[in-house]
Amino acid sequence: MTYPIEQIRADFPILSEKIRNKPLVYLDNAASCQKPQAVIDSIVKLYSHDYANVHRGVHTLSVRSTDLFEAAREKVKTFINAQSEKEIIFVRGATDAINLVAQTYGKANIHAGDEIIITAMEHHSNIVPWQMLCEEKGAILKIAPMNFDGELLMQEFEALLNPKTKLVSVVQMSNALGTINPVEKIIELAHAKNIPVLLDGAQAIPHTIVDVQALDCDFYVFSGHKLYAPTGVGVLYGKKALLEAMPPYQGGGDMIRTVTFEKSTYAGLPHKFEAGTPSIAEVIGLGSAIDYLNTIGMDKIAAHEAQLLTYATQEALKIDGLKIIGEAKEKGAILSFTLGKIHPHDIGTMLDSLGIAIRAGHHCAMPVMDFYKVPATARASFAMYNTKAEIDVLISGIKSLIEMFG
């Protein structure tokens, strides 16, 4: 079956928007994806017909809301093939999930002199929470290096593993470079030394089939908004035994079993980590996004995006002076580039005037910019709804702006 690109594009109302009188070419998907009508409708339907707080009332609407909310948890569980819905913790996003692990698992298990390993290509959200923890505990953050193609140096990574290593936290797909890391191998090596592994799947999950049991990762985190779902919702997956042993994160309503002024006892999984009223509509929207993706098929989406990346890379390389930042053999749908003296911000403004949305900046990965000795890059990132024709618009836009700069 051919990929139903026309139908998919029609499913995303914003794609027919005009920007500066030009058809929108949305290539900033790594920052956040657009939402299909099905997701928008699910939120409108909830607020119009089914909304109330969850887990708190006996009245009809509360039951409806709770059922929809818990159904979304079930959908996430199936989508990433977790063993149990108890392993699916709803949080605000990938950042929140990593902070949760740092503040609970980290605080309980990481002590002075212990080591945490991350990589040279992490997003700030997988650097700073560990730095804060290390500072507090007197632990040490170790950085596994990469080569200039943006590939992790596996021998060096392996050499970092030692009895003091208490956690490995790595990005599955880099948002600044597009690199897809050999996470199976990383997990195998770490597990051989009984070290747990957290995968930052924020970028990977919209582009690949994720099976946390096959991966055997200990924690997996992602954000809904990069998976065609609303902002304000993300997921922490953790192996049940690990989550059960962890102290709670925030205290409040929903996360307790009993409260007295002397002592409180905590709820079981997953509620132990979900203090307070959650992002109800957003969680339900995430469930709808997953339903939508399942109707297309993640394998087909991945194949479509791989074609787009190959085409974009091939055309970009024909442009004199264009340098691709991140040329790993295993790469997801991200094209990060520089144009010599033309600053990425100028590239961003100029492409915007042609209706093309790209990201210009350090992509919350300043250490990656330092490594390549550039202040910033321009980044085009592709999603399920992008087309070769849009890449042609991008490439011709880049050529014209080079001409204008002279």
Partner 1 sequence: MFEDLRELYQEVIFDHNRNPRNFRVMENYDRMVEGFNPLCGDRLTLFLKMDGDLITDASFQGSGCAISTASVSLMTEIVKDKTEAQADALFKTFHEMTTGKEEHINLEAVGKLAVLAGVREYPARVKCATLAWHTLDAALKNEQQSISTE
* Alpha-carbon distances, residue 351 vs 163, 224, 375, 396 (angstroms): 50, 27, 19, 10
Task: State which residue, 142 or 359, has the beta carbon closest to partner 1.
Answer: 359
Terminal CA-CA length for the chain: 46
Q: By three-state DSSP, how is residue 51 classified?
A: coil
In sequence order, what DSSP letters do the residues of 378-403 get, joined into one string?
EEEE--TT--HHHHHHHHHHHHHHHH
The β-bridge partners of 200 are 171, 221
What's the rounded Cα separation, in Å, for the pair 330 and 180?
Answer: 5
Candidates 13, 17, 20, 184: give the one binding partner 1 (CB under 8 A).
20
What's the rounded Cα separation, in Å, for the pair 60 and 57?
Answer: 8
Residue 113 one-letter amino acid: G
Report in angstroms how near the CB of residue 177 gets to ligand PLP at its nearest.
10
362 contacts which partner out of ligand PLP, partner 1, none, CB within 5 to 8 A by kind? Answer: partner 1
Report in angstroms how near the CB of residue 369 gets to ligand PLP at its nearest.
14
Q: Is 5 in the site for partner 1 (CB under 8 A)?
A: no
- CA-based nearest residue to 32, from 209, 286, 202, 279: 202
294 contacts which partner out of ligand PLP, partner 1, none, CB within 5 to 8 A by kind? Answer: none
Task: State which residue, 9 or 343, has the beta carbon closest to partner 1.
Answer: 343
Torsion of CA 303, 218, 71, 34, to 10 degrees: -40
* Alpha-carbon distances, residue 198 vs 109, 149, 202, 259, 393 (angstroms): 14, 24, 12, 32, 38
Q: Is 203 in the site for ligand PLP (CB under 6 A)?
A: yes
CA contacts within 13 A on the Cβ side of 102: 26
Q: Is 364 noted as a catalytic residue in this protein? A: yes
Tell me which stretch binds ligand PLP (CB under 6 A): 49-57, 89-97, 208-216, 255-263: 89-97
Report in angstroms how near the CB of residue 34 gets to ligand PLP at its nearest.
15
Applying the rule CB under 6 A, the residues between 68 and 87 that interact with ligand PLP are none
Q: Which two tokens stand for residue 81?
A: 């093939």
- CA-based nearest residue to 289, from 38, 60, 9: 38
Report in angstroms how near the CB of residue 349 gets to ligand PLP at its nearest.
21
For the chain, give me the number of helices (H) and strands (E)? 15, 17
Q: Is 95 in the site for ligand PLP (CB under 6 A)?
A: yes
Residues present in the chain in total: 406
Q: Is 336 in the site for ligand PLP (CB under 6 A)?
A: no
Q: How many residues bind partner 1 (CB under 8 A)?
A: 22
CB burial readout 6-19, b (16+ within 10 A) else e: eebeebbeebeeee
Q: Is 376 in the site for partner 1 (CB under 8 A)?
A: yes
Tell me which stretch binds partner 1 (CB under 8 A): 60-68, 297-305, 380-388, 398-406: 398-406
What's the rounded Cα separation, in Å, for the pair 329 and 332?
Answer: 10
Task: State which residue, 55 or 343, has the beta carbon closest to partner 1.
Answer: 343
Applying the rule CB under 6 A, the residues between 166 and 195 that interact with ligand PLP are 171, 175
Contact by Cβ (8 Å): 171, 203: yes
42 contacts which partner out of ligand PLP, partner 1, none, CB within 5 to 8 A by kind? Answer: none
Task: State which residue, 253 or 375, has the beta carbon closest to partner 1.
Answer: 375
Q: Which of 33, 134, 217, 364 is catalytic?
A: 364
Task: State which residue, 27 or 202, has the beta carbon closest to ligand PLP.
Answer: 202
Tell me which stretch binds partner 1 (CB under 8 A): 46-54, 128-136, 264-272, 350-358: 350-358
Candidates 54, 68, 94, 134: give the one binding ligand PLP (CB under 6 A).
94
Residues ≥6 apart with Cβ < 8 Å to 297:
none
Tell me which stretch binds partner 1 (CB under 8 A): 102-110, 229-237, 320-328, 358-366: 358-366
Sign for the pseudo-dihedral over CA of 276, 281, 286, 288: positive
Candidates 361, 379, 386, 395: give the one binding partner 1 (CB under 8 A).
361
18 contacts which partner out of partner 1, ligand PLP, none, CB within 5 to 8 A by kind? Answer: none
CA contacts within 13 A on the Cβ side of 100: 29
What are the residues binding partner 1 (CB under 8 A)?
20, 342-346, 349-350, 353-354, 360-362, 366, 369, 375-376, 400-401, 404-406
What are the residues binding ligand PLP (CB under 6 A)?
93-95, 123, 125-126, 171, 175, 200, 202-203, 223, 364
The catalytic residues are: 364
